[in-house]
Amino acid sequence: MTLRLFDETPAPYVAPEVIAPGAMLLRGFALGVDEALLQAVEGVVAAAPLRHLVTPGGYTMSVAMTNCGALGWVSDRSGYRYDAKDPLSGQAWPSMPACFAELALRAAAEAGFDNFRPDACLINRYEPGARLSLHQDKDEGSMDAPIVSVSLGLPAVFLFGGLRRSDCTARYRLQHGDVAVWGGPSRLAYHGVAPLAKGEHARLGAQRINLTFRCAR
Ligand code: SIN
Ligand code: FE2
């Protein structure tokens, strides 16, 4: 048996880890396709650059974001919404790369949600110190489909709570290649990401990339 106590090397996928009803971590699920995903991220970012959005309250988000797919999640002084066009360019968002759609479909099925066909993928880039405060994903047109979230690069602490903001949150360390899926009774669970710790990832350097797949329509 290999002792993994202090070993940060991601281990290959074994089985879902249930964290709440309808919510699962698929540790290492994206490891075989990580390089394809990252090359596809580079293509999306070349066409629709990462940018720091402003919240309706006037704060600039520490996480930089862009999107691909038919719809993209955006925020500005007027609110949060999905938009078919990138407000920076006025053009449609880059189309969803096939490797994104395939991984999201497989991960959702593995978590018990069949036929997941997301029309939106939010790409989040965290640099050390960046965080995402506790929120619900509730701008989507339907709550029937789950959220599929893929972690790449530096590890992060994912906070996962209940249906009320005041519910206590559990902390999960998400590493490169891990996938989180939440739907059904957990679809509106509050979640967030603690400030990213400093570090160097072999492929991505001092950053974490997260892909969040949604059915926004
Ligand atoms: C999100 O809630 O949109 C992102 C979660 C993450 O970065 O893991
Ligand atoms: Fe979210």
pLDDT one-digit tens code per residue, 90-131:
999 999 999 999 999 999 999 999 999 999 999 999 999 999
pLDDT-derived band of residue 78, with 50, 70 and 90 as boundaries?
very high
Is residue 11 in a domain? no
**Please, where are the H alpha helices in 20-97?**
34-47
CA distances from 109 to 47, 70, 145, 153, 189 (A): 30, 22, 11, 24, 20
Phi, psi of 53 (to 5 degrees): -80, 155
CATH label of the domain that carries residue 136: 2.60.120.590
Is residue 149 in a domain? yes
Q: List CB contacts of 57: < 8 A, sequence separation 6 or more.
A: none
State the angle between helix axes of 98-110 and 34-47 in degrees (0 to 180), rounded to the nearest 10: 130
**201 Ramachandran zone, left/alpha/beta (phi>0; psi -120 to 50):** beta
Q: Is the pLDDT of residue 155 over 60?
A: yes
Is residue 168 in a domain? yes
C-alpha span between 139 and 108 (Å, rounded):
20
Is residue 3 in a domain? no
pTM as predicted: 0.96
- Whether 124 is in the pocket of ligand 1, judged by its Cβ within 6 Å, is yes
Is residue 150 in a domain? yes
Is residue 5 in a domain? no
Is residue 192 in a domain? yes
Give me the domain span that covers residue 32: 17-214
- Residue 20 near residue 98 (C-beta atoms within 8 A): no
Is residue 49 in a domain? yes
- Residue 125 near residue 151 (C-beta atoms within 8 A): no
Q: Name the 3-class secondary structure at 160.
A: strand
- Whether 193 is in the pocket of ligand 1, judged by its Cβ within 6 Å, is yes
Q: Ligand 1, from 19, 53, 82, 124: best to mutate by most atoms within 8 Å of Cβ?
A: 124
Number of compact structural domains in the chain: 1
Q: Is the pLDDT of residue 15 over 90?
A: yes
Summarize pLDDT for 132-145 with one digit per residue, the tens: 999 999 999 999 99
Q: Is the pLDDT of residue 66 over 60?
A: yes
